[in-house]
Amino acid sequence: MYTRRGDKGETDTGTGMRVTKGSHIIDTEGDFDELNSFVGFALVNTKWDDIRKDLEQVQVDLFVCGEHITAQGGRRTITEERVRWLEAKVNEYRKEYGKIKLFVIPGGSVESTSLHMARTVCRRLERDLVKSKDEVEISPVIEEYVNRLSSLLFFHSIISNRRLGIEERIWYLRELP
């Protein structure tokens, strides 16, 4: 589909506001779209029903977050309940995994690596949300959701390797000479 309205570097937001495609809000919308695609990639690579179910819900939530931003809260919006859901999931996986040694070097398995890729896109989205606050109002709940989501994706990745019997590679901080 095309309209030719974006041929000169501008686009419409969900409120009808016309903005440059280089604006922070469009970067943020692109990040939501990219993250949703990476979550979909991780979803098709996972072997476990619990993680798959989580990722399916996350994809729906990401659309809701994106709609909230483009429509400036005029339609659906993410709620504190969704943030609490993420926190409960992180706590479940934390119990399963046990003590965490930071910093984990991404890798080990396709399952884990695809989740790490989604996690890093999520972190970029979080940074771009902060930049977007210069242009539009961003609900603090969306910022909380994205922050917790990166934690969930991290736990999904390390749990995936653990369930496959793959030991994480750990990068240790050392004193420099």
In the chain, where the domains are located: 20-170
Which tens digits make up the pLDDT trace of 92-128? 999 999 988 778 989 999 999 999 999 999 999 999 9
> What pLDDT is recorded for position 103?
86
| Helix (H/G/I), strand (E/B), else coil: 115 | helix
- CA angle, corner 31, sides to 46 and 24, nearest 5? 170
Rounded distance, CA 96 to CA 89, Å?
Answer: 11
> What pLDDT is recorded for position 140?
93
- Asked if 92 and 123 touch (Cβ cutoff 8 Å), the reply is no
Kindly tell me if the per-residue pLDDT of 14 is higher than 70.
no
> What pLDDT is recorded for position 21?
64
Rounded distance, CA 34 to CA 164, Å?
Answer: 27
- Asked if 158 and 168 touch (Cβ cutoff 8 Å), the reply is yes
Tokens of 8: 């000169």
- Asked if 31 and 123 touch (Cβ cutoff 8 Å), the reply is no
- Asked if 24 and 117 touch (Cβ cutoff 8 Å), the reply is no
Phi, psi values for residue 39, rounded to 5°: -65, -40
Which tens digits make up the pLDDT trace of 17-58? 676 666 777 788 889 999 999 999 999 999 999 999 999 999
Residue that the structure tokens 């994706």 belong to: 153
Q: Which fold has domain 20-170?
A: Hypothetical Protein Ta1238; Chain: A; (1.20.1200)
Kindly tell me if the per-residue pLDDT of 15 is higher than 70.
no
